[in-house]
Amino acid sequence: MQKIELMAPAGNFESLQAALDNGADSIYFGVEQLNMRARASINFTLDDLEEISKRCKAKNVRTYLTLNTIIYDHDLSIVKTLINKAKEANITAVIAMDQAVIMAAREVGMEVHISTQINITNIETVKFYALFADTMVLSRELSLRQVKKITEQIEKDQIKGPSGKLIEIEIFGHGALCMAVSGKCYMSLHAYNSSANRGACKQNCRKKYTVIEQETGFEMELDNEYIMSPKDLCTIDILDQVADAGIKVLKIEGRGRAPEYVAKVISCYRAAINSLENNTYDKEKVISWMQDLEKVYNRGFWNGYYLGQKLGEWSIGSGSHATQKKVYIGKGTHFFPKPQIGEFKIEAFDITIGDTILITGPTTGAKEIEVNDMMVNDQKLSKGTKGDLVTIPLGFRIRPSDKLYKIVENKVEA
């Protein structure tokens, strides 16, 4: 089994740091508007490229700039500016679907990865794009058997990219799935004049619908299943089969998700990949990882098309099925470096000994700990309330204005 690269989403600096802290091998991110999550996440700016590169290089983590939307003539100058700036900042590669982006990256010598929007489903298409790219994301609709056939053929035919190395295959491993074929959807464009293929999806497929028979006017409310909203993809329970398919990169979806989502999902898949490598992957660990994954945003889980199932695993609601949620408590005000103690101003709900808390920030990332000791207004108390100054031993640095949350159980409707 070749080593699997764990690829994490980064929609902002909090999520970027969460990915770095929890064992990601690479991160992917968007800059400005020309990416498929232009509205779903905050997105970085050109001025952020140097900081992204600096943080990732310090951890030996690869960086991928997503430029995978439809490109129009008026976008071309922006594309070239983005790619030139990415090259200057030593960003590892560009993820692209449009030939103009592919060529612009090749002209400045940047590594290219082919986006899933290209819909690569066979070995001949792999051979064609090997002229331009070293890594390719296969179509989401393939089974693991089909994926394995492609990776075996790459090895057999020695299909190499511009770097001279064998083509590497990437697949989606976890996160939101779309009703459209590998993300190519026009529902949002038709309904709201807001194109999903330009990163502006309104996610109207996630809503409840009423079907009307035109001839009689008979109406039927589809209230049992959200029939255009698939459950989230999860492969942690079939990761041994995924690895056997010969893939090199496992991509985690979620650039629009919170930093604690990135932290939890990446930490679980990091542990799972490591267990595969040291032959300790087993059913008991899978059960534990699944329970952890259920704590953060999800629409329920299924294995996608990888085991050859037909599409039919629909979500039963429009929101998250997470078993836990975060409740805002307050913000950081000071950090005492020697004892590693953080001070927080409580602005909302109470905090007590035994609570599980989450601290997030652009440099802090997403840190989750249990409160075993604390001081309230310089007194040793077990509870802090709105208006109090609370100090908590942390073991890591916080920054002023880092956000403090309490993690609580979330009742999910069946």
Q: What is the pLDDT of residues 225-262, one digit of tens each?
A: 545 567 889 999 999 999 999 999 999 999 889 999 99
pLDDT band at residue 212 using 50, 70 and 90 as cut-offs: confident
Beta pairing class for 26-30 and 5-9: parallel
Name the burial class of residue 54, with classes exposed (0-12), middle (13-18) and buried (19+) by CB atoms within 10 angstroms of its CB: exposed
pLDDT of residue 69: 85
pLDDT of residue 226: 47
pLDDT of residue 200: 63
The structure tokens listed for 372 are 């075993």
The helix/strand count (H/E) of the chain reads as 10, 23
349 φ, ψ (degrees, to nearest 5)? -80, 165
C-alpha 327/C-alpha 324 separation (Å) is: 10
105-109, 283-287, 306-310, 390-394: least confident range: 306-310
92-101, 222-231, 245-254, 307-316: least confident range: 222-231
C-alpha 154/C-alpha 131 separation (Å) is: 14
Angle between helices 76-88 and 99-107 (to 10 degrees): 40
C-alpha 110/C-alpha 285 separation (Å) is: 39
Report the predicted TM-score, pTM, of the whole model to 2 decimal places. 0.86
C-alpha 111/C-alpha 78 separation (Å) is: 19
Placement of tokens 């179509």 in the chain: 139
Q: Averaged over 328-355, what is the pLDDT?
A: 96
The structure tokens listed for 294 are 């259920």
